Amino acid sequence: MNEIKILAIVGSLRKESYNRQLALAAKELIGDRAVFNLLEYRDIPMMNQDIEFPAPEAVKRVREEVKSADGIWFFTPEYNHFFPGVLKNLIDWLSRPVSDKEPQVLSGKPAAISGITPSMAGTGLAQDHLVTLISFLNMNVMNVPRLTIPNAAQQLDGDGKLALTVSYPYLEKQANAFLGFIAKQIGK
């Protein structure tokens, strides 16, 4: 079956991350309309050109996951008005050519961006920096709609989990738009 494959990349390694919970909400919302996986990358090392070739196993694995995805959906926190260093480190690894015969794996991939924060900021500044980076890497960014969710604490259930009350329709709108954006580009 010619299913769309979406890979979610969460810019937080925290177990209870709001951004991870947002990614899981997107997965549930998309349901059987696409294969939706979360990239696990806490085991990739810090970029160091001394260990770049041959690529560490963990780096090979994340590159393969990105390569086989039809679209990448970033869910990023905001750290000091930027996206977190763990995400920059991951993207730095992904940005390098696989070999002299194979280019980097991000080029041309459709990308969507969402973010959630407990503050009033909404992650817009972090997202803008991420757009600058992934545009440089020739990703195909869906700029409209992007999703910025402030005041995460106002959307929790009794157990402190993200319930996404007021933001749910916006997530739905973005998910539908991204499925259409990917389908248009890859002809699925």
**Cα–Cα distance between 68 and 121 in angstroms, integer?**
34
C-beta of 15 vs 101, nearer to ligand FNR = 15
Which two tokens mark 137?
């890497």
Counting contacts by CB under 6 A, is residue 78 touching ligand FNR?
yes
**Cβ pair 7, 13 in contact under 8 A:** no
Residue 110 binding ligand FNR, by CB under 6 A: no
Q: Contact between 77 and ligand FNR (CB under 6 A)?
A: yes
Indicate which single residue of 29, 35, 58, 121 sits in contact with ligand FNR (rule: CB under 6 A). Answer: 121
Q: What is the CA radius of gyration of the chain?
A: 16
Under the binding rule (CB under 6 A), the answer on residue 18 touching ligand FNR is yes
Query: Residue 140's beta-bridge partner residues?
Result: 110
Angstrom distances, CA of residue 6 to CA of 54, 59, 71, 87, 152: 27, 19, 5, 18, 24
Whichever of 35 and 125 has its CB closer to ligand FNR, that residue is 125
Q: State the residue for tokens 């926190």.
A: 77
Residues 3, 45, 108, 119: which binds ligand FNR (CB under 6 A)?
119
Instruction: Indicate whether 19 belongs to the interface with ligand FNR (CB under 6 A).
Output: yes
Looking up tokens 């260990």, which residue turns up?
Answer: 51
Site string for ligand FNR, 132-151 (x = CB under 6 A): --------------------
Query: In this chain, which of 114, 117, 148, 174 binds ligand FNR, going by CB under 6 A?
Result: 117
DSSP 156: B
Q: Which of 81, 161, 173, 184 binds ligand FNR (CB under 6 A)?
A: 81
